[in-house]
Amino acid sequence: MNNRLQQFLTLEQLSNAQFAEIMGIQRSTVTHILSGRNKPGFEFLQKFLMKFPSVNPDWLLLGRGKPLREMNSPAQSPTSEPVLDLDYESVDDTAPDSGTEPEDEIPQEMRRDVRRITLFYSDGTFQEFYPPK
């Protein structure tokens, strides 16, 4: 992985310091990953792919394919975090055509909120959507 990070920096003509600044991390973190001293964690990889949406995740993580996505990739949108405009209040939990309220209300500790919706496309790309906060 450290070799692919170095390839990316060369491809994008970025110094370690410039990359660290864009990522919002310390320079030493980049240096330690490039030297092989540390392996990148999930948060680093997630931030990397969010900051550089043109990077092919298969290449970055697995070394497969080309470093950059195809230009017509659906996951390469201009915004880094697409947001779905969901109206949670309009969801009707009653059975269709029943016309009645649900018999039992779900206890608070059993309720779950949507945190992320991920769409996976047949070309191997994906797109993530986050509900409004």
Q: What does the pLDDT look like over 72-95, one tens digit per residue?
A: 545 544 444 444 444 444 344 444
130: its two tokens: 């986050």
Length of the chain: 133
Q: Cα–Cα–Cα angle for 124, 126, 132, nearest 5°? A: 175
Banded model confidence at residue 100, pLDDT cuts 50, 70, 90: low
**CA–CA dist 116, 105 (Å, integer):** 25
**CA–CA dist 42, 12 (Å, integer):** 22
**CA–CA dist 31, 83 (Å, integer):** 34
Banded model confidence at residue 21, pLDDT cuts 50, 70, 90: very high
pTM of the model: 0.52
**CA–CA dist 44, 73 (Å, integer):** 23
Overall average pLDDT of the 9-23 stretch:
92
Positive or negative, the CA dihedral 35, 21, 45, 50 is negative
Domains and CATH numbers, the chain: 1-69 (1.10.260.40), 71-133 (no CATH)
Residue 36 has pLDDT above 80, yes or no: yes
Q: Which of 46, 91, 128, 27 is nearest to 9 (CA)?
A: 27
Contact 95, 80 (CB under 8 A): no
